[in-house]
Amino acid sequence: MARIFSGIQPTGIATLGNYLGALRNWVALQESEDECIFCLVDLHAITNFQEAAALREQTRQMAALLLACGIDPARSILFHQSAVSAHARLAWIFNCVARMGWLKRMTQFKDKAGRDQEAASTGLFVYPNLMAADIHAYHATKVPVGDDQLQHLELANDIAEKFNHDFGVAFFPRIEPLVLKDSARVMSLRDGTKKMSKSDPSDQSRINMTDTADMIDQKIRKAKTDPAPLPEHVHDLASRPEARNLVGIFATITGQTPHQVLHHFAGAGFGPFKTQLAEALIAHIEPISLRTRQYLDDPTALDQILKDGAHRAAAIAEPIVTEAERLVGFLSR
Ligand code: AQP
């Protein structure tokens, strides 16, 4: 049995992108023989400023959504990162193992920091070290990731290798990325070249997993497209990022291939396509949204699920990180 670790930032309400690219796969992973640990990475979330009250609400909201999607706390460990101090302690050690040059090569820092890198938090710069600590604190060996995170996983392996080499041990295992088939990359509804993001300033750019049927319908109707009809072949979507994105969403949410979707809609305008896309999304999202609200109606029970999860997570991470601290030369606490 291997251990799987994955995290999501409570930086807003999860989007259809988070759902199709990550959450839906996490639920499926619970069927495997592996032990699953799912973490609401609030330490990562504050690498960009969050209002304190909003962060608390977003963390509960994300927990409720994960449960509503089918994460089962009886089978998996679900908790918030700041509740287990092992993450921050190991991240500090890794800050001292990783090299500046390694971090400077991280493309996600460049993307997220934007033009004014000098104004980015130092936390954002060392974000990959914390991500490495999240995984290595559990000796997890499988991490479900999208393409955009592969570079961070390579760095996590480089850090582990250097740690093992520096201290003459074989303590941290190698991590394998779990590249999931059918894992979809969902793009913004306003710009098909940009990833759909929960922190995009425009709410019209995304479908939130808590949107009502009316909101979903309205956002899909207003989603950017082009004047040409839907083509017959998938390769004809290559230079039409918005159309390609909507066809991709349609295919993923209805369990078809883009080819099958185009076979049905080829030659038609976007009107009828969008109507059916909105219907399919509503049928999928509405029950999840309803269950999320039910979990949020009982914050005490929700907090208890996270506390239990943190307790179980700490029971795994504490001895591993304590041993890492001993190897580094810290006196025991
Ligand atoms: N648009 C997307 N399509 C497919 N997968 C996506 N993920 C995020 N957006 C898409 C996947 O969701 C998981 C959790 O992501 P995260 O919250 O830890 O960070 P992120 O990738 O930075 O997601 P956001 O929504 O864009 O957050 P903000 O706006 O706060 O930066 C990851 O597995 C990610 O690949």
Condensed to tens digits (0 to 9), the pLDDT of residues 46-67 reads 999 999 999 999 999 999 999 9
Do residues 285 and 209 lie in contact, with contact meaning Cβ atoms separated by under 8 Å?
A: yes
- The atom of ligand 1 lying closest to the CA of 144 is 33
Per-residue pLDDT reduced to its tens digit, 101-158: 999 999 999 989 988 999 999 999 999 999 999 999 999 999 998 778 899 999 999 9
pLDDT at residue 177, as a whole number? 93
Which residue's structure tokens are 């992973």?
29
Q: What is the DSSP letter of 204?
A: G
Is 18 touching ligand 1 by the criterion CB < 6 Å?
yes
Per-residue pLDDT reduced to its tens digit, 160-195: 999 999 999 999 999 999 977 666 789 999 999 999
Mutate to test the pocket of ligand 1, among 9, 24, 151 (most ligand atoms within 8 A of CB): 9
Answer yes or no: 112 catalytic.
Answer: yes
Q: What is the mean pLDDT of residues 308-331?
A: 98
- Centre of ligand 1 to C-alpha 71, Å, is 18
Report the DSSP beta bridge partners of residue 177: 143
Residue of the nearest CA to atom 29 in ligand 1? 199
Alpha carbon dihedral 256, 147, 143, 103, in 10-degree steps, equals -170
Q: Do domains 3-184+298-328 and 211-294 have the same CATH topology?
A: no
- Centre of ligand 1 to C-alpha 187, Å, is 11
3-8 sheet: strands from edge to edge: 77-80, 35-40, 3-8, 142-144, 176-178
- Centre of ligand 1 to C-alpha 269, Å, is 31
- Residue 198 pLDDT > 80, yes or no? yes
Spatial distance between the Cα atoms of 273 and 182, rounded to a whole number of angstroms: 22
- Centre of ligand 1 to C-alpha 18, Å, is 5
333 confidence band (pLDDT: 50, 70, 90): confident
Per-residue pLDDT reduced to its tens digit, 8-23: 999 999 999 999 999 9
pLDDT at residue 180, as a whole number? 73
Strands (E), 245-330: none
Spatial distance between the Cα atoms of 135 and 201, rounded to a whole number of angstroms: 30
pLDDT at residue 255, as a whole number? 93
pLDDT at residue 182, as a whole number? 62
pLDDT at residue 147, as a whole number? 77
Task: Please give the CATH number for the structural domain made up of 211-294.
Answer: 1.10.240.10
The domain limits of the chain are 3-184+298-328, 211-294
Answer yes or no: 142 catalytic.
Answer: no
- Residue 332 pLDDT > 70, yes or no? yes
Answer yes or no: 181 catalytic.
Answer: no
Contacts of 13 (CB under 8 A, 6+ apart): 58, 61, 65, 198, 208, 209, 210
239 confidence band (pLDDT: 50, 70, 90): very high
pLDDT at residue 234, as a whole number? 94
Per-residue pLDDT reduced to its tens digit, 260-310: 999 999 999 999 999 999 999 999 999 999 999 999 999 999 999 999 999
Spatial distance between the Cα atoms of 228 and 316, rounded to a whole number of angstroms: 55
Spatial distance between the Cα atoms of 68 and 64, rounded to a whole number of angstroms: 6
Question: Over the chain, what is the mean pLDDT?
Answer: 96
**Is the domain 3-184+298-328 a CATH 3.40.50.620 member?**
yes
246 confidence band (pLDDT: 50, 70, 90): very high
pTM listed for this prediction: 0.95
Do residues 47 and 127 lie in contact, with contact meaning Cβ atoms separated by under 8 Å?
A: yes
Amino acid at position 1, single letter: M
> DSSP string of 60-104?
HHHHHHHHHHT--TTTSEEEEGGG-THHHHHHHHHHHHS-HHHHH
Three-point CA angle 119, 120, 123, nearest 5°: 140
